[in-house]
Structure 1
Amino acid sequence: MGDRTEANPPGRYERILRDAGVRITRPRRIILTILADGGDHPDALEIFRRTAAIDPSISLSTVYRTMKLLEEKGAIQRHVFEGGPSRFERADGDHHDHLIDIESGEVVEFRSDRIEKLQEEIARELGYEIVSHRLELYGRKRQPD
Protein backbone atom coordinates (compact mmCIF):
# COMPACT_ATOMS: atom_id res chain seq x y z
CA MET A 1 0.00 0.00 0.00
CA GLY A 2 3.01 2.24 0.45
CA ASP A 3 3.09 5.87 1.49
CA ARG A 4 -0.34 7.35 0.83
CA THR A 5 -0.84 11.11 0.96
CA GLU A 6 -3.93 13.19 1.46
CA ALA A 7 -3.80 14.17 -2.22
CA ASN A 8 -4.93 10.71 -3.28
CA PRO A 9 -8.27 9.19 -2.33
CA PRO A 10 -7.06 6.37 -0.03
CA GLY A 11 -5.07 8.93 1.96
CA ARG A 12 -8.05 11.28 2.05
CA TYR A 13 -10.35 8.48 3.22
CA GLU A 14 -7.85 7.48 5.91
CA ARG A 15 -7.63 11.08 7.17
CA ILE A 16 -11.42 11.37 7.32
CA LEU A 17 -11.74 8.16 9.33
CA ARG A 18 -8.83 9.03 11.63
CA ASP A 19 -10.39 12.46 12.28
CA ALA A 20 -13.55 10.58 13.29
CA GLY A 21 -11.53 8.54 15.79
CA VAL A 22 -11.60 5.35 13.71
CA ARG A 23 -8.55 3.07 13.65
CA ILE A 24 -7.24 2.28 10.17
CA THR A 25 -6.90 -1.48 10.21
CA ARG A 26 -5.49 -3.55 7.35
CA PRO A 27 -9.02 -4.57 6.23
CA ARG A 28 -10.17 -0.95 6.19
CA ARG A 29 -7.05 0.12 4.29
CA ILE A 30 -7.79 -2.54 1.64
CA ILE A 31 -11.41 -1.33 1.35
CA LEU A 32 -10.26 2.29 1.01
CA THR A 33 -7.78 1.36 -1.71
CA ILE A 34 -10.43 -0.59 -3.64
CA LEU A 35 -12.80 2.37 -3.44
CA ALA A 36 -10.12 4.77 -4.63
CA ASP A 37 -8.90 2.56 -7.46
CA GLY A 38 -12.33 1.70 -8.87
CA GLY A 39 -13.85 4.05 -11.38
CA ASP A 40 -17.25 2.42 -11.18
CA HIS A 41 -20.25 2.41 -8.84
CA PRO A 42 -19.88 -0.82 -6.87
CA ASP A 43 -22.40 -2.08 -4.36
CA ALA A 44 -21.30 -3.42 -0.97
CA LEU A 45 -21.26 -7.03 -2.21
CA GLU A 46 -18.96 -6.11 -5.10
CA ILE A 47 -16.65 -4.25 -2.74
CA PHE A 48 -16.70 -7.33 -0.50
CA ARG A 49 -15.84 -9.61 -3.45
CA ARG A 50 -12.89 -7.38 -4.38
CA THR A 51 -11.62 -7.26 -0.80
CA ALA A 52 -12.03 -11.01 -0.33
CA ALA A 53 -9.85 -11.60 -3.40
CA ILE A 54 -7.06 -9.74 -1.57
CA ASP A 55 -7.80 -10.89 1.98
CA PRO A 56 -10.46 -13.58 2.53
CA SER A 57 -10.62 -12.78 6.26
CA ILE A 58 -12.38 -9.44 5.63
CA SER A 59 -16.04 -9.68 6.57
CA LEU A 60 -19.05 -8.23 4.80
CA SER A 61 -19.96 -6.42 8.02
CA THR A 62 -16.56 -4.64 7.95
CA VAL A 63 -17.35 -3.46 4.43
CA TYR A 64 -20.80 -2.22 5.46
CA ARG A 65 -19.47 -0.44 8.56
CA THR A 66 -16.68 1.23 6.58
CA MET A 67 -19.05 2.38 3.83
CA LYS A 68 -21.48 3.76 6.42
CA LEU A 69 -18.71 5.72 8.13
CA LEU A 70 -17.45 7.15 4.84
CA GLU A 71 -20.96 8.13 3.81
CA GLU A 72 -21.67 9.79 7.18
CA LYS A 73 -18.46 11.80 6.84
CA GLY A 74 -19.31 12.90 3.27
CA ALA A 75 -16.40 11.08 1.61
CA ILE A 76 -18.62 8.91 -0.58
CA GLN A 77 -22.10 9.16 -1.99
CA ARG A 78 -24.60 6.35 -1.80
CA HIS A 79 -26.95 5.98 -4.73
CA VAL A 80 -30.06 3.85 -4.70
CA PHE A 81 -30.84 3.37 -8.33
CA GLU A 82 -34.31 2.04 -9.05
CA GLY A 83 -34.59 -1.71 -8.67
CA GLY A 84 -31.07 -2.28 -7.41
CA PRO A 85 -28.85 -2.30 -4.35
CA SER A 86 -27.16 0.80 -2.95
CA ARG A 87 -24.08 1.73 -4.94
CA PHE A 88 -21.21 3.96 -3.93
CA GLU A 89 -18.96 6.53 -5.56
CA ARG A 90 -16.47 9.15 -4.47
CA ALA A 91 -18.05 12.39 -3.30
CA ASP A 92 -15.18 14.62 -4.37
CA GLY A 93 -15.54 14.23 -8.14
CA ASP A 94 -16.96 16.71 -10.61
CA HIS A 95 -20.75 16.94 -10.85
CA HIS A 96 -22.27 14.44 -13.24
CA ASP A 97 -25.55 12.68 -13.85
CA HIS A 98 -26.27 8.98 -14.36
CA LEU A 99 -27.82 6.81 -17.05
CA ILE A 100 -28.70 3.36 -15.74
CA ASP A 101 -29.08 0.45 -18.16
CA ILE A 102 -32.18 -1.38 -16.87
CA GLU A 103 -31.09 -4.67 -18.41
CA SER A 104 -27.43 -4.88 -17.40
CA GLY A 105 -27.40 -2.55 -14.39
CA GLU A 106 -24.47 -0.64 -15.91
CA VAL A 107 -24.20 2.95 -14.65
CA VAL A 108 -22.99 5.48 -17.22
CA GLU A 109 -21.85 8.88 -16.01
CA PHE A 110 -22.49 11.88 -18.23
CA ARG A 111 -22.54 15.67 -18.11
CA SER A 112 -24.63 18.00 -20.27
CA ASP A 113 -24.29 21.77 -20.14
CA ARG A 114 -27.68 22.02 -21.89
CA ILE A 115 -29.39 20.04 -19.12
CA GLU A 116 -27.62 22.05 -16.41
CA LYS A 117 -28.71 25.37 -18.00
CA LEU A 118 -32.28 24.15 -18.45
CA GLN A 119 -32.50 23.11 -14.80
CA GLU A 120 -31.25 26.54 -13.71
CA GLU A 121 -33.74 28.25 -16.01
CA ILE A 122 -36.67 26.19 -14.70
CA ALA A 123 -35.71 26.80 -11.07
CA ARG A 124 -35.31 30.55 -11.71
CA GLU A 125 -38.72 30.76 -13.46
CA LEU A 126 -40.31 29.07 -10.43
CA GLY A 127 -38.52 31.41 -8.04
CA TYR A 128 -35.89 28.96 -6.79
CA GLU A 129 -32.16 28.60 -6.66
CA ILE A 130 -30.85 25.05 -7.07
CA VAL A 131 -28.85 23.96 -4.05
CA SER A 132 -28.17 20.44 -5.30
CA HIS A 133 -29.71 17.90 -7.61
CA ARG A 134 -29.39 14.39 -8.97
CA LEU A 135 -30.51 13.30 -12.39
CA GLU A 136 -30.99 9.63 -13.14
CA LEU A 137 -32.09 8.38 -16.53
CA TYR A 138 -33.15 4.76 -17.00
CA GLY A 139 -32.98 3.07 -20.36
CA ARG A 140 -31.88 0.18 -22.49
CA LYS A 141 -29.49 0.05 -25.40
CA ARG A 142 -31.18 0.74 -28.69
CA GLN A 143 -31.28 -2.05 -31.20
CA PRO A 144 -29.79 -1.27 -34.61
CA ASP A 145 -32.40 -0.31 -37.21
Structure 2
Amino acid sequence: MDPKTADLKKAGLKVTVPRLKILEILENGGEEDHFSAEEVYHILREHGEDVGLATVYRVLTQFEQAGIVRRLNFDNNTSRFELDRGDNHDHIICMKTGLVKEFADPVIEQRIREIAEEKGFDLVGHNLVIYGTYKQEQDNDTEE
Protein backbone atom coordinates (compact mmCIF):
# COMPACT_ATOMS: atom_id res chain seq x y z
CA MET A 1 0.00 0.00 0.00
CA ASP A 2 1.25 3.46 -0.88
CA PRO A 3 2.55 5.24 2.27
CA LYS A 4 0.39 8.32 1.53
CA THR A 5 -2.71 6.13 1.27
CA ALA A 6 -1.78 4.42 4.53
CA ASP A 7 -1.27 7.79 6.26
CA LEU A 8 -4.71 8.96 5.21
CA LYS A 9 -6.42 5.73 6.22
CA LYS A 10 -4.60 5.68 9.57
CA ALA A 11 -5.89 9.22 10.19
CA GLY A 12 -9.42 8.04 9.43
CA LEU A 13 -9.67 10.01 6.19
CA LYS A 14 -11.08 8.66 2.94
CA VAL A 15 -8.46 8.44 0.20
CA THR A 16 -9.33 11.00 -2.49
CA VAL A 17 -7.29 12.48 -5.32
CA PRO A 18 -7.24 16.01 -3.81
CA ARG A 19 -6.06 14.66 -0.45
CA LEU A 20 -3.33 12.58 -2.09
CA LYS A 21 -2.14 15.49 -4.25
CA ILE A 22 -2.07 17.94 -1.34
CA LEU A 23 -0.22 15.44 0.85
CA GLU A 24 2.28 14.90 -1.98
CA ILE A 25 2.94 18.66 -2.23
CA LEU A 26 3.57 18.86 1.52
CA GLU A 27 5.82 15.79 1.46
CA ASN A 28 7.84 17.06 -1.52
CA GLY A 29 8.50 20.35 0.23
CA GLY A 30 11.65 20.50 2.28
CA GLU A 31 11.99 21.32 5.95
CA GLU A 32 12.03 25.00 5.09
CA ASP A 33 8.76 24.86 3.14
CA HIS A 34 5.77 26.19 5.02
CA PHE A 35 2.91 26.47 2.55
CA SER A 36 -0.14 28.69 2.67
CA ALA A 37 -3.40 27.24 1.34
CA GLU A 38 -3.11 29.63 -1.60
CA GLU A 39 0.38 28.35 -2.44
CA VAL A 40 -0.83 24.74 -2.35
CA TYR A 41 -3.74 25.74 -4.59
CA HIS A 42 -1.42 27.42 -7.12
CA ILE A 43 0.91 24.40 -7.21
CA LEU A 44 -2.08 22.13 -7.87
CA ARG A 45 -3.28 24.41 -10.69
CA GLU A 46 0.24 24.51 -12.22
CA HIS A 47 0.12 20.70 -12.34
CA GLY A 48 -3.23 20.74 -14.10
CA GLU A 49 -5.30 19.63 -11.12
CA ASP A 50 -8.90 20.86 -11.07
CA VAL A 51 -9.21 21.52 -7.34
CA GLY A 52 -10.87 24.58 -5.83
CA LEU A 53 -9.35 26.79 -3.16
CA ALA A 54 -12.18 25.90 -0.76
CA THR A 55 -11.26 22.22 -1.15
CA VAL A 56 -7.62 23.00 -0.35
CA TYR A 57 -8.64 24.85 2.83
CA ARG A 58 -10.99 22.02 3.84
CA VAL A 59 -8.36 19.31 3.25
CA LEU A 60 -5.66 21.22 5.14
CA THR A 61 -8.03 21.71 8.08
CA GLN A 62 -8.87 17.98 8.01
CA PHE A 63 -5.15 17.17 7.93
CA GLU A 64 -4.58 19.47 10.90
CA GLN A 65 -7.38 17.82 12.91
CA ALA A 66 -5.97 14.39 12.02
CA GLY A 67 -2.46 15.38 13.16
CA ILE A 68 -0.93 15.12 9.69
CA VAL A 69 -0.02 18.81 9.46
CA ARG A 70 0.63 21.68 11.83
CA ARG A 71 -0.95 25.07 11.25
CA LEU A 72 1.43 27.94 11.90
CA ASN A 73 0.21 31.49 12.35
CA PHE A 74 2.89 34.09 11.95
CA ASP A 75 2.52 37.88 12.18
CA ASN A 76 1.09 38.42 8.69
CA ASN A 77 -2.16 36.62 9.66
CA THR A 78 -1.65 33.99 6.96
CA SER A 79 -1.83 30.40 8.12
CA ARG A 80 1.02 28.25 6.88
CA PHE A 81 1.15 24.48 7.00
CA GLU A 82 3.93 21.97 7.48
CA LEU A 83 3.92 18.21 7.83
CA ASP A 84 3.82 17.13 11.45
CA ARG A 85 6.92 14.96 11.57
CA GLY A 86 6.61 14.50 15.33
CA ASP A 87 9.67 16.58 16.10
CA ASN A 88 9.85 19.73 18.15
CA HIS A 89 11.31 22.74 16.43
CA ASP A 90 10.91 26.49 16.33
CA HIS A 91 10.96 29.06 13.53
CA ILE A 92 12.85 32.19 12.54
CA ILE A 93 11.27 34.42 9.88
CA CYS A 94 12.70 37.11 7.61
CA MET A 95 10.50 40.21 7.83
CA LYS A 96 11.53 41.31 4.32
CA THR A 97 11.14 38.12 2.29
CA GLY A 98 8.95 35.87 4.45
CA LEU A 99 11.67 33.18 4.40
CA VAL A 100 11.08 30.68 7.22
CA LYS A 101 13.92 28.64 8.72
CA GLU A 102 13.49 25.92 11.31
CA PHE A 103 15.76 25.36 14.28
CA ALA A 104 15.95 23.25 17.42
CA ASP A 105 18.03 24.23 20.41
CA PRO A 106 18.26 22.03 23.52
CA VAL A 107 19.24 24.99 25.72
CA ILE A 108 16.11 26.93 24.72
CA GLU A 109 13.97 23.81 25.19
CA GLN A 110 15.37 23.26 28.69
CA ARG A 111 14.83 26.91 29.63
CA ILE A 112 11.21 26.80 28.44
CA ARG A 113 10.60 23.75 30.65
CA GLU A 114 12.20 25.57 33.60
CA ILE A 115 10.08 28.70 33.06
CA ALA A 116 6.89 26.64 32.92
CA GLU A 117 7.88 24.89 36.15
CA GLU A 118 8.82 28.20 37.86
CA LYS A 119 5.42 29.64 36.93
CA GLY A 120 3.56 26.55 38.15
CA PHE A 121 2.60 25.15 34.74
CA ASP A 122 2.67 21.64 33.34
CA LEU A 123 4.12 22.28 29.88
CA VAL A 124 2.08 20.74 27.06
CA GLY A 125 3.71 22.60 24.17
CA HIS A 126 5.13 25.87 23.00
CA ASN A 127 5.52 27.96 19.88
CA LEU A 128 8.61 30.12 19.55
CA VAL A 129 8.92 32.40 16.53
CA ILE A 130 11.85 34.77 16.05
CA TYR A 131 11.58 37.65 13.58
CA GLY A 132 14.49 39.34 11.85
CA THR A 133 15.99 40.07 8.47
CA TYR A 134 17.90 37.34 6.70
CA LYS A 135 21.47 38.26 5.81
CA GLN A 136 21.71 36.71 2.37
CA GLU A 137 25.40 37.41 2.08
CA GLN A 138 25.94 34.60 4.61
CA ASP A 139 24.98 32.12 1.91
CA ASN A 140 27.42 33.71 -0.54
CA ASP A 141 30.26 33.54 2.01
CA THR A 142 29.78 29.82 2.56
CA GLU A 143 29.67 29.04 -1.16
CA GLU A 144 33.12 30.43 -1.93
Contact kept, 8 Å, 1:16 with 1:75, in 2: the verdict is: no
The 5 A counterparts of 1:1-145 are: 4-5=2-3, 10-16=4-10, 19-20=12-13, 22=14, 24-39=15-30, 40-142=33-135
Unpaired segments ≥5 residues, structure 1: none
Distance 2:40 2:136 in 1: 32
TM-score when normalising by structure 1: 0.82
TM superposition shift of 1:137: 0.7
SS across alignment from 1:123: helix
Q: 1:26-64 deviations in whole A, cap 9, x for unaligned?
A: 232211111111121010011011111222412112211
Distance 1:13 1:46 in 2: 22
TM superposition shift of 1:136: 0.6
How many pairs align? 135
TM superposition shift of 1:110: 0.4
Contact kept, 8 Å, 1:76 with 1:88, in 2: the verdict is: yes
In structure 1, give the amino acid aligned to 2:106. Answer: D
In structure 1, give the amino acid aligned to 2:2. Answer: R
In structure 2, give the amino acid aligned to 1:46. Answer: E
Distance 1:44 1:111 in 2: 25
Regions of 4+ moved over 6 Å = none
Q: Percent identity?
A: 36
Q: 1:83-135 deviations in whole A, cap 9, x for unaligned?
A: 14110011233100000111101111001111111112222222323111110
Distance 1:134 1:119 in 2: 10
SS across alignment from 1:137: strand
CA-atom RMSD in angstroms: 2.0
